[in-house]
Structure 1
Amino acid sequence: MQLSPGLRRVGNEIVASYLFIDGRGVTVVDAGLAGHYGDLVAELADAGLTIDDVRAVILTHGDTDHLGFAERLRRDHGVPVYVHAADLDRAKGGDTPATSFGRGIRPWPVVRFFAYALAKGGARTEYLADARTLEGGEHLADLPGSPEIISMHGHSPGSIAVHSPALGAVAVGDALTTRHVLTGRRGPQPAPFTDSPDAALDSLDRLAATDAEWVLPGHGTPWNRGAAEAVRLVREAAAATAR
């Protein structure tokens, strides 16, 4: 799905990854679920590209619904995979993410999420065998989209956002969501399964500072009304939940 020139989504509002495209090729941000590999190939074809045009995968964090086809691209096609050093162990299968479901769960959104994850190969995700590590603050100018790495500690120890000023976009992983997978509630809000909710909220100031038009969550509809407005609404939703 093309969002704007050079910016595409693979997947849907349940689980998504993103493509940053320029004349040098493609940077894939997050790798969804294993079964999204075919969707990736189809999306690339729609853009007149192939797997051979993929220059890198950058993972916003190491949870399994973001690892998807990353190891397949690394192993079979030699595509380097980047992940924050603090999430490398999780991406290799050695760390356990938060599992608290929180309040307000509704059965249908939960069933829909897990049914979709199973249908798309969520039970057969390959953990990474190797990766290049990030620390936050890097500017990967040689990669398509010239992404800048923003540390977003909170959802996981090594959560990051991937900002492309050239494309006016920032992919945020689970730093926030625009559709809560456990309640079905829509709009910018805190994501579930977050290790440190307070730290995640503190990290949002870095998103607002990007001034990006597009905010691209791993779960939910892409947001094109600006990062600052998305952050304001997340904080508002968090405050309402705390009352």
Structure 2
Amino acid sequence: MDRIEVLPRLHLFRFPIGQAYLWRDGDELTLIDAGNAGSAPEIEAAVRGLGLRPEDIRRIVLTHCHRDHIGAAEELAARHGATVIAHRLDAPVVRGESPVPEPDLLDWELPLWEHGLTVPEAPPTRVDVEVEDGDELGFGDGAYVVHAPGHTDGSIAVHLPRHGVLFTGDCVAGIGQVMLGVFNTDRAQAATSFRRLAALEPEVACFGHGDPLTEDTAAVLKAAAEAPVPRP
């Protein structure tokens, strides 16, 4: 797992597939997504490598219900008493009460999807707090939920307006180029969500896959959001 500084208070933890982010408010830590199952020891080691304590992870915000985002959440929460947060519509999937929604795949997405399925299945994971659009999250000087459906029904972004930071989840991808994320259950709805996120004009955009965008961010997001939506 790679550990990359995005901002002095923000680090990226990159796994072979997917990634998570650590935000720091003093000694209080927040994880946005939690990597794949079995990655808890790596995340803990990365936190310690920053001179911080895994015991200070207060919350784990899940942007959606896919296995590469929720895998280690249950183990980390159980060890350190963190609160697990997810949107109301994805919470039953995270808990293992409902099946993972099937994406509407384009032909070129099929091999990527099959590769993604090599990530270990996530165990059922508790959700302590179910959130809705606009709910504040208790960190980052006013971080709040932006409901961004289309990738999954309960996909969310997390906006920190006082810091100009936006975590997009998988609504937006940054691999090679900034683009609409893949594996969407409703591609048109995901494109609408992308445009809503771009309208927030963040200074830093942190994607579920790909390098964070830190330069000309608002303009790049706007141009990408206005690009034609791929059709089957």
TM-score range, shorter chain: 0.7 to 0.9
Segments of structure 2 that go 5 or more residues without pairing to the other structure are none
Residue 136 (1) aligns with residue 133 (2): yes
Rate the CA distance shift 1:129–1:189 in 2: closer, same or farther, 3 A: same
- Contact 1:33 1:67 survives alignment (8 Å): yes
Displaced runs of 4 or more, over 6 A:
none
- Contact 2:105 2:184 survives alignment (8 Å): no
Deviates more, 1:15-24 or 1:82-91: 15-24
What's 2:187 paired with? 197
Query: Whole-Å Cα distance in 1 between the matches of residues 101 and 27 of structure 2?
Result: 35
Q: Select the residue among 174, 179, 182 that pairs with 1:178.
A: 174
After TM superposition, give the deviation of residue 114 of structure 1 in Å.
4.9
1:190-229 pair list within 5 angstroms: 190-225=180-215, 226-229=217-220
Residue 188 (1) aligns with residue 178 (2): yes
What's 2:80 paired with? 77
**DSSP 3-state at the match of 1:198:** helix
After TM superposition, give the deviation of residue 228 of structure 1 in Å.
4.3
Deviates more, 1:148-157 or 1:96-105: 96-105
Residue 66 (1) aligns with residue 69 (2): yes
Rate the CA distance shift 1:195–1:130 in 2: closer, same or farther, 3 A: same
After TM superposition, give the deviation of residue 215 of structure 1 in Å.
1.1
Q: Percent identity?
A: 28
Query: Whole-Å Cα distance in 2 between the matches of residues 33 and 9 of structure 1?
Result: 14
What's 1:98 paired with? 102
Query: Whole-Å Cα distance in 2 between the matches of residues 12 and 215 of structure 1?
Result: 18
1:49-60 pair list within 5 angstroms: 49-60=52-63
- CA-based RMSD of the aligned residues comes to 2.3
Residue 2 (1) aligns with residue 5 (2): yes
The one-letter code of the counterpart of 2:204 is: W
After TM superposition, give the deviation of residue 92 of structure 1 in Å.
1.4
1:21-170 pair list within 5 angstroms: 21-93=24-96, 94-105=98-109, 113-115=116-118, 117=119, 122-123=120-121, 125-140=122-137, 142-144=138-140, 146-170=142-166
- Residue-by-residue CA offset, 1:136-177 (whole Å, 9 max, x unaligned): 10122x324542111111111111101122432111111111
Work out which structure has the larger RCO, using CA pairs closer than 8 Å and 6 or more positions apart in sequence. Answer: 1
The one-letter code of the counterpart of 1:34 is: A
Segments of structure 1 that go 5 or more residues without pairing to the other structure are 180-185
After TM superposition, give the deviation of residue 36 of structure 1 in Å.
2.5
TM-score, with length taken from structure 1 = 0.84
What's 1:16 paired with? 19
Rate the CA distance shift 1:217–1:158 in 2: closer, same or farther, 3 A: same
After TM superposition, give the deviation of residue 3 of structure 1 in Å.
1.0
Deviates more, 1:68-77 or 1:96-105: 96-105
After TM superposition, give the deviation of residue 210 of structure 1 in Å.
2.3
- Residue-by-residue CA offset, 1:13-70 (whole Å, 9 max, x unaligned): 7310111112141110011112332231122122210111111000111111111111
Which one has a larger percent helix, Structure 1 or Structure 2?
Answer: 1
